[in-house]
Structure 1
Amino acid sequence: MTSPTDRIRPAVLVPRPVAELAARFDLTTSDPGTLAEVQVTAVASDNRAVSDGDLFVALPGARAHGAAFAADAVARGARAVLTDPEGAADLGDLSVPVLVTDEPRLLLGPVAAWVHGAPAERLTTFGVTGTNGKTTTTYQLDHLLRALGRRGGLVGTVETRSGDRVLPSRLTTPEASDLQAVLAAMCEDGVDSLSMEVSSHAIAMHRVDGVVYDVAGFTNLSQDHLDFHGDLATYFAAKAELFTPARSRQGVVVVDDVWGERMAAAATVPVQTVRTGPAREGAPAADWTVAEVAPRGTGSAFTLTHADGRSLRAWTSLPGHFNVANAALAVVMVLASGVALDDVVAALEAGDGLSAQVPGRMEVVGPGDGTHPRVVVDFAHNTDALELALAALRPTTTGRLVVIFGATGDRDPGKRPLMGAAAVAGADVVVVTDDDPHDEDAAAVRAAVRAGAEAARDRAVAAGRDVTVTEVAPRAEAIRRAVLEAAGTDTVLVAGRGHETLQEVRGVDLELDDRVEARAALRARAERTPTA
């Protein structure tokens, strides 16, 4: 796991006067005379990440106020502290200037952007939000942009990439101060285009303040993160903020369901819409539509047509209709940025379509050969994503479809029985196991998932459909047993964790990579299988 000190930051840091900072952002200080000679070169809101020359922003927190760590930040080299009146009152005597504002959280991004010279304005920026598909869409964007000759940067769940430099991500969207440093490093590395996931948490917690995206994209919305947002309406509203002038210049919205239609209607920036399936009755016409979807390799090819008659043929190597939607969104976002359609067509040919392999997203770790099952690892960690992943694998599964999954502890308990029911609806063999229990009792989380699965199984059996539901823990054993017991014509989907390599159990991070465990199980299976 990365630590707070694993920061990407530019190699060359330009000092910025604290007096100018205070004037620009209307900050107060008890001793303006102390500002005259002070300069800062970067911004940090975590004292453990402070380097010499930083501005330390002491934010109010759920457990403690950042002001409690200001002395340590100064000891590490912070040249000034920015906080709120409450924090300022608790700072005591510091050897550096203290700047005060009522809402330092709201200034963290804009201040960091100013300190680093507004790096987002030197990039063509693409921000993607939605419940599912953000990671895949950003990878496809990056793949297409590189095929166009751009030098790409990527920020998301799996990794942060500045040109050819890669650092694993701790958050889907970094803290605002870290994000601005990353963007500055990208500019220094010659990056000209940014593809970035923008989570609802990031919007609500102001992590992307200081960035106005050239093109914002919306994939879809379904139940997730309600432990944080409370209800779907609040969750939707957080994502809808991305489609306002404060956060983007234009948008592209997939309108395959009512949430997409609502997003397009709620947007206060110009929006282009994309529809990848039949329109519901009374729905407005889309600007772009997907048709002529056909199998191509492991994925699909499709035609994307604008209402004015323009069209192109595109394809993705990833299976499932939802990946057609992700690919179409990526293409239209690039077109919306001003790239000519003919140039996109040429780039698709040069880059073999939208064939970027996304770690842990429908990643095939065992292709299946009739003797050993096909094994696929996917990040599907909510009801909608699980349904879509199973539906994508069903048409190419000649035997049984087996799914191994769990639900995350300390997160939206209402979705646990729904995920169990979705697994039964889409699979023939359902193995309930652990995801990340966090601080919850793992057995209790499994029980809630299993209850939903068993109720759905009873209904399926009554309707004449045979489905098996079992519970196996720990997760590594569940993967091993499912792979060893599967038939050679079966598909085994290991869902929920995707690219993740650590499992959190009561505050302890345990090494666990679904792909590693699946490959080990396949090797064990091969060793016990007689050869001809």
Structure 2
Amino acid sequence: MPAQSSPHALRPATPPSTSLRALLDLTGATSVAPLPAEVTVTGIEQRSTAVRPGDLFAALPGANAHGARFAADAIDRGAVAVFTDAAGAAQLGSVTVPVLVREEPRAVLGELSAEIYGHPSDRLRIVGITGTSGKTTTSYLVEAGLAAAGLSTGLIGTIETRIGGRRVPSALTTPEAPQLHAMFAAMVEQGVAAVVMEVSSHALALGRVDGVRFAVGAFTNLSQDHLDFHADFEDYFAAKRRLFDADSPVAARTAVICVDDEWGTRLAGDLTAPITVSTSAAGAERSAAAGSAASKHTVRGTAAWRVVGDVRTTGGEQEFTAVGPDGELTVRLRLPGRYNVANALLAVATCAAAGVDPRVTAPALATVDVPGRMQRVDRGQDFLAVVDYAHKPAAVESVVATMRGHLAEAGHGRLAVVVGAGGDRDAAKRPLMGAAAARGADLLIVTDDNPRTEDPAAIRAAVVAGAHELPDTERGEVREIGDRAAAIAAAVAWARAGDVVLVAGKGHEAGQEIEGVKHPFDDREVVAAALEALRTRHSPRTDSEDLTVS
């Protein structure tokens, strides 16, 4: 078997064998020619370069080309049949394998993939987490809770895929249906009992999670993002709610909803008996109002899970008291920020919904660090340097507020924020990000994020314009430095004892995409290098350093 070097290569070692005729019946497809009775399928792929012997090649229409163009390559690699639409069949010409034709083949791709791999999600306790912000952090926290209960776990998300402790970088937040069901089958083979996965709006809208049987679905929040893909907020929300809507084929059996924002409150009010979570009195009141407005919505008068009393913070770590159906418990976190309190409470409630005792979950959360999420970079400096993935206006606003809270707790210090905006994405959020960062920063440095195919200067100009929309009295200094490494170095050089340098936008990412080329770039490494350079400049020179060697 080829080396499993990417999420797309994660396949079961001994997949089931399914007759092609059974798949024809399942999909309602027609066959271009009579099917040979002996043809069986052991896998499915929509990328010809990843096809293995025994696969069904799904030749789907794409944004730039039809997959049927690559059918010959797929067949050369061992595809035993092609599944496509009428337009694809017309492009195939003469092929040596059976061809199954169905209009809108993507509509059944998830169920088809599940069938080919033996419906592996039926044998797993799958937790899906959706929302705009907090999916990754909540996923890591839930995984820790499930593992603490002795369950062998899998994780599928933005940063990585893990199966039995083996880590693989993720290509998509939620993989395409053929890869996803293959992963599940591999997990079942390796003894995994529970899987936590991020579920993006793209995945829900495009059917990537079709065929998955979710035990629990969790909702974090909703704010502006992906409006380059979704028509508007309502369309964005509609995609998210597919994970919970009883009429949806992917609806989770149990819904856990954070009602700290209006979208969570609205979602909870539309569902039958969701488990609600709130960190604020306002959220609890909204939850109660939703309950009284709809008799089908049972929330015990307030959120089923809530935070009571003050959140205690010490050196960036947090502790709070959570109240659930069975009483109070103390939750500790290594992660700063009020939004991480919400993520943690949602994780406790989600694990409980998955059958894990909250008294087991809570201690496990204190051990969790999340790559690129409020991640500290320490090289012995006398100020705090933090890298975070915040790349949406609401996320930037939250992380800036968290850092300002840290400074208020310390009683002194200034905040520098380094941020940019991605190219080929929702352009409307760029000025909003500039304003969100400038409002709380003593120094804002606008730089490049992932320009992709756009003009970096134009993207920066939009972010800077948003910052300058604020009155001078509501913002600090604003600089523009296109080179991201230089921008980070400038922020580090600016900092004094007790200050905070926040580098936002890319988090765990290890590359920067410019003009279609991804260059190696890791904010954490660049911050560390800038700190090392600063320490070197400020270190007293020794006699040996004055020597020159010829």
Preserved CA contact (<8 Å) 1:55 1:79:
yes
**Corresponding letter in the other structure for 1:24:** L
**Corresponding letter in the other structure for 1:263:** L
User: For 2:502, what is the secondary structure of its paired residue?
Assistant: strand
Q: For 2:47 and 2:398, how far apart are their aligned partners in 1?
A: 38
Deviations 1:336-368 (A, max 9, x none): 1233xxx3313433x3x3431111000001276
Preserved CA contact (<8 Å) 1:142 1:195:
yes
Q: Map 1:69-80 to 2 at 5 A.
A: 69-80=70-81
User: For 2:486, what is the secondary structure of its paired residue?
Assistant: helix
Deviations 1:241-273 (A, max 9, x none): 110232211110000121111111233x54111
Q: Which residue number in structure 1 is paired with residue 297 of structure 2? A: none
Q: For 1:392 and 1:130, how far apart are their aligned partners in 2?
A: 20
Q: Map 1:376-387 to 2 at 5 A.
A: 376-387=386-397
Q: Which residue number in structure 1 is paired with residue 501 of structure 2? A: 492
- Cα 1:466–1:205 shift into 2, 3 Å: closer
Unaligned ranges ≥5, structure 1: none
For residue 332 of structure 2, the aligned residue among 306, 315, 319 is 315
**Corresponding letter in the other structure for 1:206:** G
Q: Which residue number in structure 2 is paired with residue 29 of structure 1? A: 31
- Cα 1:5–1:330 shift into 2, 3 Å: closer
Q: Which runs of 4+ in 1 moved over 6 A?
A: 2-5
Q: Which residue number in structure 2 is paired with residue 508 of structure 1? A: 517
Q: Which residue number in structure 2 is paired with residue 358 of structure 1? A: 370
1:93 aligns with 2:103: no
Deviations 1:154-186 (A, max 9, x none): 000000111121110011000110001111111
**Corresponding letter in the other structure for 1:194:** V
Deviations 1:185-237 (A, max 9, x none): 11111111101000001101111011021000000000111010021111011
User: For 2:282, what is the secondary structure of its paired residue?
Assistant: coil
Q: For 1:162 and 1:98, how far apart are their aligned partners in 2?
A: 34
Unaligned ranges ≥5, structure 2: 289-301, 542-550
**Corresponding letter in the other structure for 2:448:** D
- Cα 1:485–1:527 shift into 2, 3 Å: same
User: For 2:343, what is the secondary structure of its paired residue?
Assistant: helix
Q: For 2:77 and 2:500, how far apart are their aligned partners in 1?
A: 53
Q: Map 1:441-520 to 2 at 5 A.
A: 441-456=455-470, 459-461=471-473, 467-520=476-529
**Corresponding letter in the other structure for 2:257:** V
Q: For 2:334 and 2:6, how far apart are their aligned partners in 1?
A: 35
User: For 1:279, what is the secondary structure of its paired residue?
Assistant: helix
Shift of 1:283: 5.0
Q: For 1:420 and 1:121, how far apart are their aligned partners in 2?
A: 45
Preserved CA contact (<8 Å) 1:5 1:48:
no
Deviations 1:294-321 (A, max 9, x none): 2255321122213x56222212210001
Preserved CA contact (<8 Å) 1:367 1:374:
no
Q: For 1:466 and 1:90, how far apart are their aligned partners in 2?
A: 59
Q: Which residue number in structure 2 is paired with residue 263 of structure 1? A: 267
Q: For 1:199 and 1:51, how far apart are their aligned partners in 2?
A: 28
Preserved CA contact (<8 Å) 2:6 2:169:
no
User: For 1:366, what is the secondary structure of its paired residue?
Assistant: coil
Q: Which residue number in structure 2 is paired with residue 427 of structure 1? A: 441
Preserved CA contact (<8 Å) 1:368 1:489:
no
Shift of 1:493: 0.5
- My pick for the range that moved more, 270-279 or 148-157, is 270-279
Q: Which residue number in structure 2 is paired with residue 392 of structure 1? A: 402
**Corresponding letter in the other structure for 1:396:** H
- Structure 1 length normalisation: TM-score? 0.94
For residue 304 of structure 1, the aligned residue among 303, 308, 322 is 322
Q: Which residue number in structure 2 is paired with residue 279 of structure 1? A: 282
Preserved CA contact (<8 Å) 1:368 1:488:
no
Q: Which residue number in structure 1 is paired with residue 293 of structure 2? A: none
Q: For 1:207 and 1:466, how far apart are their aligned partners in 2?
A: 43
Preserved CA contact (<8 Å) 1:264 1:271:
yes
Q: For 2:171 and 2:222, how far apart are their aligned partners in 1?
A: 23
- Cα 1:344–1:405 shift into 2, 3 Å: same
- Structure 2 length normalisation: TM-score? 0.91
